[in-house]
Amino acid sequence: ENEAEKLEDLCAEELEKHNAVLIAHYYTDPAIQKLAEKTGGFVGDSLEMAKFGAAHKADTLVVAGVKFMGETSKMLSPEKRVIMPTLEATCSLDLGCPAKEFKQFIDEHPDRTVVVYANTSAEVKALADWVITSSIAVDVIEHLDAKGEKILWGPDRHLGGYIQKKTGADMILWQGHCVVHDEFKHIALEKTIKMYPEAAVLVHPESPDSVIALADHVGSTSQLIKAARDIPEEQVIVATDKGIFHKMQQAAPDKDLIIAPTAGEGATCRSCAQCPWMKMNELTNLAGVFNHDDNEIFVEPDLIKRALVPLERMVSFKK
């Protein structure tokens, strides 16, 4: 047994000993995703992670992802202990949308229904009428638009712009962005498409609209994996975090997966199709997470009460 295998075994033993289940996002290290698969845990998109945690009978949820995912799990299951391999893992969308400023934005538009992306703090969720993830974003806004509601959206401007285009809804957008998806570039992607003219292009909607315009399929991480499996093309260009390749390759074993370019020639990218915060989840910090109580997620009961209203709309929404 090598060191990595020993560490994996140690993590599996710890999870079992503490009646804990591991819930991981597709962007985490494949070693974490494999551990979740091996131990009866779960790997999924942000909405599926929230639903899985809420429905699971374990006393403790170990959420490998970024902080908003741990907070959402805690708020949906306040009676459970929710811990994360690191509490340092945040998200540029969450960072770029402080609750105080967002509250002012809401106050400037009192006639609008407030819809926020799941990639936000518990405080921002508590200000919202709806929380949504990219997998249900278009459907929820269509539903609200059909009722004649005008929308105030935050924080991701690219996802917001995409939904606005798809639905024609009246939306005012907060101007946040994801540092990872914002790096996908139109001109460089056009060149990649020329190199692989037969390939299908899959894009996460946090990408710039000029990149989305080149896509054959746009969707959440789970939706992109399903698309990769179901489409006839043998080559697939993917504009999202490359951690997704672990599950995408399992779903589409014979396909050739190509990561979309993150910068033009000669330019450098900061994140290069890899979320710097998702990357902070490692088997080493996961193995030690039960030995101290520094990594537990706590959310104020009053905040939970307010945020649960829009969060429950998110988990119970049916198309």
Q: How far is 173 from 211, CA to CA, in rounded Å?
A: 19
Interface with ligand SF4, residue 159, by CB under 6 A? no
Q: How far is 61 from 78, CA to CA, in rounded Å?
A: 11
Which residue's CB is nearer to ligand SF4, number 212 or number 275?
A: 275
Residue 173 CA neighbour count, 13 Å, CB half: 15
Tokens, residue 135: 């997998």
Interface with ligand 13P, residue 45, by CB under 6 A? yes
Interface with ligand SF4, residue 33, by CB under 6 A? no
- Which DSSP symbol is given to 296? B
Interface with ligand SF4, residue 116, by CB under 6 A? no
Residue 105 CA neighbour count, 13 Å, CB half: 22
The structure tokens 């946040």 sit at 176
Site string for ligand SF4, 225-254 (x = CB under 6 A): ----------------x-------------
Residue 37 CA neighbour count, 13 Å, CB half: 12
Residue 221 binds: one of ligand 13P, ligand SF4, none (C-beta under 5 to 8 A by kind): ligand 13P
Taking CA atoms, 59 is separated from 45, 74, 204, in Å, by 22, 12, 33
Residue 39 binds: one of ligand 13P, ligand SF4, none (C-beta under 5 to 8 A by kind): none
| Interface residue with ligand SF4, options 72, 86, 92, 262 (CB under 6 A) | 92
Interface with ligand SF4, residue 97, by CB under 6 A? no
Starting at the edge strand that comes first in sequence, how are the strands of the sheet with 217-218 ordered? 217-218, 200-203, 235-239, 256-259
Which residue's CB is nearer to ligand SF4, number 97 or number 275?
A: 275
The gap from C-alpha 71 to its chain's centroid, in whole angstroms, comes to 13
Interface with ligand SF4, residue 295, by CB under 6 A? no
Interface with ligand SF4, residue 273, by CB under 6 A? no
- Which DSSP symbol is given to 156? B
In the chain, the amino acid numbered 80 is K
Tokens, residue 77: 């299951």
| Interface residue with ligand 13P, options 83, 127, 178, 238 (CB under 6 A) | 178
Tokens, residue 73: 């799990």
Compute how many residues bind ligand SF4; rule: CB under 6 A.
14
Interface with ligand SF4, residue 278, by CB under 6 A? yes
| Interface residue with ligand SF4, options 179, 189, 218, 269 (CB under 6 A) | 179
Binding site for ligand SF4 (CB under 6 A): 66, 91-93, 119, 178-181, 206, 241, 275, 277-278
Binding site for ligand 13P (CB under 6 A): 45-47, 119, 133-135, 178, 206, 220-221
